[in-house]
Structure 1
Amino acid sequence: MMTDHRLSHQDADSNGLEGRSSDDLKSLYIALTGAPLPKFIRGKLLRRAVVHALAEKRDGGLNPDTQRCLDGLVRQIVPTGETAPPKPNRKIRSGTRLIREWQGQVHEVTVDGVSFL
């Protein structure tokens, strides 16, 4: 039998969150998670984030193996201490040939410095 793990308005109400102000919810989120609040979180999403943090505290969160796996994936995606790769040069120089195939026909454009031929 599967358990429904979705958070509902009843969860927020049963935790006494419905009457709380946004400032109270923000403080509670920071106290529960030890992390800063995401920049654009407000209203219902803020309330859901607090309910999720409460459920995570109550149920123990992720098991250590899963947490290590996720941390490793994050390190692969967001390397620490590295700057973002440089943006590619989008200038098209004179003499460049642009070739594309569309609907079975090859189309070729040559850049002459001022216009496209």
Structure 2
Amino acid sequence: MSRLDDELGALASLSPAQLREKWGAMENTAPPSVPPALLRQLVAQRLQERRHGALPVLIARELRRLAIEGPGAEPARPRVELTPGTRLVREWNGQTVTVEVLEQGFTYADRTWRSLSEIARHVTGAHWSGPRFFGLTCNG
């Protein structure tokens, strides 16, 4: 048996006070205010993370989403919130395209536009997804 296995096995015999003490020693913080059974699981998780490493952030986020929405749910696409005053800059064929976000729409080339896609179409001469053209989507 490994040292980690021994530590995990020993958690079952720890009292709530000992669990809180172990958490404090490991994390240098007060333990969360949770029932002893949950604290035991949290301590076990921390011990395993220290030995094997934590889950990557994207995997942890997806697991949280699945726990909330259920296994059949489609992954949510992250949305970028554009606040008025934000500037989007893109270089296209040697030209710098600078767009400012307004309350209602966008400004580019001294005009107001309803959507980023209209601007992308104007700049490129082809149909583009505006958010994709300006790098606001994950699929690039």
Q: State the TM-score bracket (shorter-chain normalisation).
A: 0.3 to 0.5
Q: Which has the higher contact order (CA 8 A, sep 6+)?
A: 1
Under a length normalisation based on structure 2, what TM-score does the superposition of the two structures give? 0.32
Name the one with the larger helix percent: 2
